[in-house]
Structure 1
Amino acid sequence: MKHFSVAVIAVALTLSSTVTAQNQQPQDTTKAEKLDEVLVKAVRVDANSPITHSNLSKEEIAKRNLGQDIPILLNFLPSVVTTSDAGAGIGYTGLRIRGVSSQSTNVTINGIPYSDAESLGTFWVNLGDFSSSVENLQVQRGVGTSTNGSGAFGASINLLTDAFSKEATGEIANSFGSFNSRKHTVKYSTGLMNDHFEIAGRLSNIESDGYIDRASTSLKSYFLQGSYVDDNRLIKAVLFGGNNVTYQSWFGIDRDQLRDDRRFNPAGQYEDENGITRFYDNEVDDYRQDHYQLHWNERYNRNWSTNVGLNYTYGRGFFEQYREDDDFATYGLDPLTVNGQPVNTTDLIRRRWLDNDYYVINASANYKNNEIDLIFGTSFSHYDGDHFGEIIWARFASQSEIRDRYYDGNGKKNDFSAFAKATYKLNDRVQLYGDLQVRNVNYETSGITSDLVELEVDENYTFFNPKAGVTYRLNDDNDLYLSYARANREPNRNDFESNPDIKPEKLNDFELGWRHNKGNFTFNANGYLMLYEEQLTLSGEINDVGAPLRTNSGESYRLGVELEAIIPVTRQLTLQPNLTLSSNKNVETIRSFDGGLQNLGSTDIAFSPNVIAANAIVFQPVRDFQVSLLSKYVGEQFMSNTEARASKLADYFVNDINLIYTIQPKSIFDTIVFTGLINNIFDEQYVSNGYYFTFDDDFSNPGTIATQEGAGYYPQAGINFLAGVTFTF
């Protein structure tokens, strides 16, 4: 923790203007516009709810929206740690909240589950520039309220897309930066035509070479919505999607490479017939995803309203790899005899495909009066996904034919849930919260995996997830809250591939908090205790496509305190710090080492730093100009559950500068906004993510087995910049 004291000082003196207090609300809207909020009301909580949460508005997102992915824009929220495979925040990015992996974080868009139904992960790379179409978002830490899709084990993130606009608008945004990064966005809205109809849309293109060598990204995306609105009805058809072509950078590098050439990328490396090292130029992930949503919100009177949402998602694509000297047996090919010599290996190029369909229907109803706010609803989803592989070129093709599939498998998943949640105002001081959810999951697989191993899963889970809480209003400035939540979550496909006997995870989450809000000063303190049974923790290892592997950890817990504040020093100067201190432990860890089993006792949970801090000094000398110093500290963490020294990631402390200048011309454009972002201004050489593995090696002494270990690292960019200009009219 060599930087810990520095970070604490930074928290006291220096977080991003994107960090909002839990009790801040989205901007006021008209009576009709509030119907937009109904899309997410069933999965969101209010400011005085006993659920720990943060809100982020459209205006706050725009301050750093220069092409980086959504996880990077959430970097300065409490308990958040982000990472980027390409090192610069564009491409494959991820986040962990309270140390919990993305596979255990629930993500919804307009109340529709976005997290992949089978892998349970969230591939933000398929949402290029989606932040330009987000009206607001809410992050709930812990279990949170009942949501649609798989349960939240560390956090849930729900996004609301653009509200309709009464007036016709247009927007052109362009940004450029380091590593040949650039973003181009065009948006429009017709405004309400005949007082009822609106059509709006967005086209975006994001390109970047990446900080890591050849870690290029090309993201093309679209967003289109049509709305019908009257005083009590909102009907929305929303279409969005895009295509990502990303050069692979998921392999990381070893310690020697980190020291000698931290930008090195081993993906696509091979030797030609002359022994010269080359890199295959199309070692890419190429995936397209399209989403079709229809929402109908209806308000019948002052008490009753309903919402129905329909969704269809079509995803398809592949990643392509050059493989050098691969065994025929890996692809089910027969040995050959060439010029009288046996041949059983070959150089080849393969594609491994995903082709999936995802259907969702949500329905909810809301009754409220001055004392009670009752929401009940249901959700059903069906996922059907094919996994298959093709050899598109081989030096020796054996008996293979064009478009042969060397493996072919399928996964099907049905997910049904029903919930009822109520907020009851007992009196002027006490508010009670209750939430009951029943969820049934059926998951079946067939066929063989890429390892040519049969995968036959047929599991059915029924989960009961109760939640309860109370908020006590001390006075106009102070609230106390206490909540309990139970959550259950099924394993994903990779879990079953690595362990057919994998178990679902269970969590009991206790939250205790204090919210203080007086004038422009806000302070929130939250303590949490998360007690797990068979938590699916990251093991530290990754599979051959860079996906993190998980394992049941028996009993484990996360105990922590989260502090955040908005401190107005003067009318021009504001401080926005947050700090998380936590202890994250496996109660007992047993590992195989040197041919035997070792009981390590209590150990730290992998990828769970005990200290996470962030802060911003926001200085606004005049109305149209703002500059912010953004600071982020992440304490040291282990990449394994064994506290192996080789798996330790050092702590890091990174600072950014964000500049915003607005011009309001008298003609043509309503506003011209110049935005600048200088990342990592002190050129910190840091690593935010990695992996750890062990393997057994036979030595010269017969019967002696020694366990070897290794690690991989994902270095992040040093000082770099992005700058952009946005024209609105």
Structure 2
Amino acid sequence: MILFAEFVRFFRQASLLVLTAILMWPALLNAGEIISGEVLDPSGTPIARATVSLEGGSPPSVTAADGAFELALPETLSFPLRLSAQAPGYEPGTLELEGIPSFLEIRLKPTPLFSGEVKVTTNRAQIGETPVTLSNISREEIARNDWGQDVPLLLQHVPGFYAFNDNGNGMGYSYFFLRGFDMRRTSVSLNGVPLNDAHSHGVYFVDLASFLSTTGDIQVQRGVGTNLYGGSAIGGAVDMRTRTPLSEPRLRISAGGGSWGTRTSQIEYDSGLINEEWAATFRYSRSKSDGYRDQSWLDAWNYYATIEHYGKRNTTRLVLFGGPEDTHLAYEGITQAYLNGEITGDKRKDRRHNPLTYPGEVDHFFQPHFQLINDTQLSPDLRLNNTFYFFEGDGYFEQYKSDRWLPAYDLEPHPGPDGEIIYTSDLVRRREVKEWDAGWIGSVEWRHGNNRGQLQAGLAVRFHSGRHEGTTIWAESYPPDTPPNHPYYDYQLDKQTYQPFVQEQWAVSDRWRLFGGMTWTSHRYHMHDDQLKGIEFVENFDYLLPRLGVTFSPAQDWSVYANVSRGGREPAFRDIYDPQDFWFGDQPHELEPEELTDFELGVQHQWGSGYARFNVYLLDFDNAIVWAGGLDSDGLPITANGAKTTHKGAELELGWTPRPRFGARLTGSFTRATFDDFEEFGWDGTAQDHSGNRIAGTPDWLASLELTGGWGPVDLLVSVRYAGRFYLDNTEDLRKYPELKDRPDYIHRVNEAFTTVDLGAKINAGQSLASLIGAKAIVVDLRINNVFDSLYTTFGYVWGPEPTWIPAATRSVYGGLTVDW
């Protein structure tokens, strides 16, 4: 795995190549024999099709898929021997040998031009240098674990990260919690561009179908971290970065399928370097699935294109991506009767039930993105980065609702056939949005003090505008003389965000580094053009977010860090005022920004074949707008305000690579999230005190184990994941009302702990088979999820007379084929 710290240092070094040879089992050979070895990248990944040659010697050797080579020695030798190695995407170089090893391990460094020369580093941290808690997921790890699932499902090995999916099989609408905070309090960005919705703070990964195939790496920071702009980073920050084009041309076609009617296909083309200054990548993907749950199908396609220009002092990158998605919604849970098979007598059939049975309950959305990123080296110590972005969204979904009060939909009660006044009716409503976002992120990086200091300063600006409209497209008792598709809400919402920021890192000595920064955040909501109620108002939220930290390195491979940071989040718009809810009233709520103080303490150790990281944290959260234990009519958590909570815990991450293609990673976390002070009010005005209770929705204990191994053409993966039990609402399973739990019909409000085991294999079909169709490589992918066929649930809530749960898929099998030309 390429640690991000090493990745950044690529750009600091004057030399673009490091060719290191580790001599193992040294023994002199007689002339005329061979040198065997392998060629690897800095992370230990084998490099295929590398050329290894001996100056003035016999013909060169080309490495196999596992990076292995055998180089014949000439009959006569003259020392020192000059050995050279080169591979597409890596800088060539030479190595002098005073002796002849029995086995030679060669490591090549990637050409910096294609190793992230376009770098958006303002929100990125470096292990061992920046005093924040983080995990890096490399391109190699992404490729090893990607089978077509949504992004959150891939990140479940990150300590403190918990993900689930409405459809049950990992494709469709997916969500995550980080340290007990839902993703609306986590900053999510792509190439540094914020993805959190401007007014709801949500993230819609369903719009990024098959996006992992062109994701270069992901950094997950836990806690406030170095996030200087974008969405709220109370729980943490997830920054995805798309990969840069390959240095050599490549055409890749892949297709796969498996359980629950899942089908994926993709075509991808890399131009390679053109005229030493241009490169491009193009991809088209299609994903379809019936979903594990009934009527939870997905049909989405996605395009991606990046065109890059490399100048002497600057790099410019144009990134385009998007694609329409159609998804039958499945956000409602099922009761215990369905889980136990009490409906039909078949537990496996009943648990797949989706209460949203209306065939038109389908989400249609299209969100094309445009990004233009320029990185300019003004001088050896001064770098300027500018990012311009624009994306728009256009979509709608329909919902069937029974026995609804007509005035709530701006429909008049009216006499029925028998003369009785009809006040309620079954109906179908359509909710539509047309919106756009545009922004600019400008930053300057100045290295000063003989390269001991690094100052970053800049400004992020974001503008959002959206039209929201809801109409009743059908009603069983539609009022006479009322035009069809009658609107019940129709308004315009605009938002402006300004975030100037500054951050400094200073190496006091070889052992001590100081870190500090701050961001001023200013948000302005403006609701206007309300076609039904004529309501217009402006709400402003401003706050300052400072951070301070220190890193101490007692030895070369050890570092200890501590930091204290402030985080904040403005209320989502519909927490302030909800024009889509008739019962909300006509006045906006007076809310304050949420406030967080984050205390972090951690240690990390790095050695030649592995690493170990451990940290503890305390998050003090005020003015919290918290989940009340139910979902609204959009499937989003219903929130209440006025809470004070504490999140504290410990996290562990261990990684070990004893030899190339063999490795292990173990992660674990404990989170205790509790209410210090929270009183929740029901619809009837009754109060319920939750102080001292645990916060619902996320497990206390999480753990994972990943084992990898490769033999010849086969690479295997074993993944084990454990999630502890958690509560479905904020009563902590009626902790304060034990007398209610003594009833024989009581159903506990908990999601039980579960363990899953997944297996994966990648099989290289070999050059002989690939050459039959003129290909460079053919790889077969096999995947078995939930090997032991466990029946478990991943989420739940209490909204109504009894708890409901979201079931996960039983054993699932997937297979795929990838061909490279």
- Give your verdict on TM over 0.5: yes
Contact 2:207 2:324 in 1 (8 A): yes
Q: Mapping of 1:283-362 within 5 angstroms?
A: 283-337=361-415, 339=417, 341-342=419-420, 343-362=422-441
Residue 329 of structure 1 aligns to a residue whose secondary structure is helix
User: Which deviates more, 520-529 or 341-350?
Assistant: 341-350
Letter in 1 for 2:383: S
Matched, 1:365 2:444: yes
Residue 151 of structure 1 aligns to a residue whose secondary structure is coil
Gap change, CA 1:413 and 1:43, over 3 Å in 2 = same
Q: Mapping of 1:498-509 within 5 angstroms?
A: 500-509=589-598
Letter in 1 for 2:726: Q
Show CA shifts across 1:515-545 (max 9, x none). Answer: 1111112110111111111223322211011
Gap change, CA 1:23 and 1:615, over 3 Å in 2 = farther
Task: Name the structure 1 match of 2:515.
Answer: 433
Task: Name the structure 2 match of 1:721.
Answer: 813
Show CA shifts across 1:218-245 (max 9, x none). Answer: 1111112222112321112211111110
Gap change, CA 1:294 and 1:592, over 3 Å in 2 = closer
Between structure 1 and structure 2, the one with the greater Rg is 2
Gap change, CA 1:436 and 1:119, over 3 Å in 2 = same
Task: Name the structure 2 match of 1:205.
Answer: 286
Residue 535 of structure 1 aligns to a residue whose secondary structure is strand
Gap change, CA 1:688 and 1:454, over 3 Å in 2 = farther
Contact 1:175 1:182 in 2 (8 A): yes
Gap change, CA 1:367 and 1:248, over 3 Å in 2 = same
Distance 1:36 1:339 in 2: 73
Contact 1:110 1:161 in 2 (8 A): yes
Letter in 1 for 2:790: E
Contact 1:589 1:642 in 2 (8 A): no
Residue of structure 2 aligned with 1:602, choices 683, 692, 695: 692
Gap change, CA 1:416 and 1:59, over 3 Å in 2 = same
Gap change, CA 1:41 and 1:23, over 3 Å in 2 = closer
Residue of structure 2 aligned with 1:579, choices 637, 661, 668: 668
Gaps of 5+ in 1: 1-18, 269-279, 695-708
Distance 2:555 2:536 in 1: 58
Gap change, CA 1:62 and 1:267, over 3 Å in 2 = same
Q: Mapping of 1:489-638 within 5 angstroms?
A: 489-496=569-576, 497=578, 500-568=589-657, 573-591=662-680, 597-622=687-712, 624-638=713-727
Contact 1:22 1:53 in 2 (8 A): no
Letter in 2 for 1:658: G
Contact 2:329 2:356 in 1 (8 A): yes
Task: Name the structure 2 match of 1:15.
Answer: none
Task: Name the structure 1 match of 2:58.
Answer: none
Letter in 1 for 2:716: V
Task: Name the structure 1 match of 2:468.
Answer: 387
**Number of residue pairs matched by the alignment:** 682
Show CA shifts across 1:688-713 (max 9, x none). Answer: 1112236xxxxxxxxxxxxxx53221
Contact 1:313 1:358 in 2 (8 A): yes
Task: Name the structure 1 match of 2:492.
Answer: 410
Letter in 2 for 1:77: V
Task: Name the structure 1 match of 2:797.
Answer: 691
Contact 1:129 1:206 in 2 (8 A): yes
Show CA shifts across 1:39-70 (max 9, x none). Answer: x2111111221111111122211122221111
User: Which deviates more, 241-250 or 575-584?
Assistant: 575-584
Q: TM-score, normalised by structure 1?
A: 0.89
Distance 2:497 2:681 in 1: 36
Task: Name the structure 2 match of 1:652.
Answer: 754
Distance 1:580 1:21 in 2: 21
Task: Name the structure 2 match of 1:7.
Answer: none
Residue 156 of structure 2 aligns to a residue whose secondary structure is coil
Distance 2:114 2:602 in 1: 32
Please state how far the C-alpha of 1:341 moved relative to its aligned partner.
3.1
Show CA shifts across 1:135-173 (max 9, x none). Answer: 111111111113322220111111111213332221111
Letter in 2 for 1:521: G
Identity %: 28
Contact 2:220 2:238 in 1 (8 A): yes
Distance 1:535 1:687 in 2: 27
Show CA shifts across 1:588-635 (max 9, x none). Answer: 33345898545454111222322111111222234x322122111111
Gaps of 5+ in 2: 9-41, 43-108, 342-349, 579-583, 735-747
Letter in 1 for 2:597: N
Greater RCO structure (CA 8 Å; 6+ sep): 1
Distance 1:540 1:150 in 2: 24
Contact 1:416 1:439 in 2 (8 A): yes
Please state how far the C-alpha of 1:671 moved relative to its aligned partner.
2.2
Letter in 1 for 2:372: L
Distance 2:390 2:328 in 1: 28
Gap change, CA 1:591 and 1:282, over 3 Å in 2 = closer
Distance 1:609 1:516 in 2: 28
Matched, 1:678 2:784: yes
Distance 2:726 2:416 in 1: 52
